[in-house]
Copies of this chain bind each other. A is one copy, B any other.
Amino acid sequence: MIVVLKNDVTQEQIDHLLDKTAKLGLKPHISKGVKRTVIGFIGPEDVLRVTPLEVFPGVEQVIPVLAPYKLVSREFKNDSSVVQINEKISFGGKKIPIIAGPCSVESKDGIRSIAQKVKESGATILRGGAFKPRTSPYEFQGLGEEGLKYLSAAGKEFGLATITEVMDSRDIGLICKYVDILQIGARNMQNFSLLKEVGKIEKPVVLKRGMSATIKEWLMSAEYILSNGNFNVILCERGIRTYETATRNTLDINAVAVVKQLSHLPIMVDPSHATGKWNLVESASKASVAAGCDGLMLEVHDNPENAFSDGPQSLLPETFSAVMAMLKNIAAAVSREI
């Protein structure tokens, strides 16, 4: 923690600051420059972080030196984590799993039909929402447990693992009965109650980045899950909100490499939400694999004209199949496999 003092700071103010910090067990290193005096404090970082040094008289600026996350950091664990879904599928290894399926589970036959098709093209995990976070209260809110049953049945029939979004702590138990991976959506990235609860289970959790979350905040949300005991976390970049309106979101492709530097957790990308338009998904998917992502989540629907949600960003099964073929080439070019 570095404290920059104002140019007109008084000795009394400095003494007051040093007096308080001494009581907290912090050791100061003072550098007096021509224009500013700077104090570096050394000591237990958590004590430092919660002490509001900014409000002490004479203080101009407080600059933290250490990142606020611990368990998710590369310093805590230098080797990249591999999150195992089942004996065949994992995130963070050489193989890049592809999650595919509709935005919402709409019917038993619907999810079954899509499951069959995405399996044929090489997907290994089936997605489908049963509880939907919709901006409008008047839009389709999901089939609930019925949807979970259909998703689970389709996954089992075609040998696909399954993933669905959890929006409410009260649904965690129910969802765990049916699916393999829980997803925390962008809108709930800082729903700390929910994060704590999924930290108490063992199932893998995909944590989507909030619509306007910094990478640091995103890692702090992951820290909530790990610090409650669940280390099976996969981060998912899904586009951030910017001023650009040509696309639904702006895919922050830099985030893949930044997360790899800061954290040992695997990172995947959701090109469907990150673009919002099916005809941009191919380009974004290729970029993601080339950038080094550990997984992809793609919305696929065999009848987008009748989709209950996210039709415009869903691939047709035949397009998905073509995209998969190209992704295999890119994966090979970066020494990975799909």
Residues of A with Cβ closer than 8 Å to B? 2, 4, 7, 20, 29-36, 38, 40, 42, 45-46, 49-50, 52, 54-56, 61, 63, 65-66, 68-69, 75, 133-140, 167-170, 187-188, 190-193, 196, 211-212, 214-217, 220, 223-224, 227-228, 240-247, 250-258, 261, 274-275, 278-280, 282-284, 286-292, 304-305, 307-308, 311-312, 314, 326, 329-330, 332-334
Contacts and interface: CB of A to CB of B under 8 A. Distances in A.
Candidate in A135, A188, A245 with the most chain B CB atoms within 10 angstroms: A135
A131 B70 CA distance: 23
Given A33-B42, A65-B36, A246 B258 contact: yes
Q: How many copies does the complex hold?
A: 4
A24 to B, nearest CB: 11
Contacts of A290: 286-287, 289-291, 330
A284 to B, nearest CB: 6
Given A29-B31, A167-B192, A187-B190, 7 more contacts: A35-B75, A55-B311, A135-B220, A136-B223, A242-B250, A256-B287, A286-B291
A256 B241 CA distance: 18
B167 A170 contact: no
Contacts of A329: 333-334
A280 B254 contact: yes
Candidate in A193, A283, A288 with the most chain B CB atoms within 10 angstroms: A283
A42 B167 CA distance: 35
Given A243-B214, A244-B215, A311-B52, A330 B334 contact: yes
A178 B45 CA distance: 36
A90 to B, nearest CB: 22
A308 B47 CA distance: 11
B244 A240 contact: yes
The 8 closest A-B pairs by CB, nearest first: A52-B311, A212-B212, A290-B290, A257-B283, A29-B31, A187-B190, A31-B40, A287-B287
Contacts of A333: 326, 329-330, 332-333
A68 B291 CA distance: 34
Given A55-B305, A304-B52, A308-B50, A136 B334 contact: no
Candidate in A2, A258, A284, A291 with the most chain B CB atoms within 10 angstroms: A291
A65 B4 contact: yes
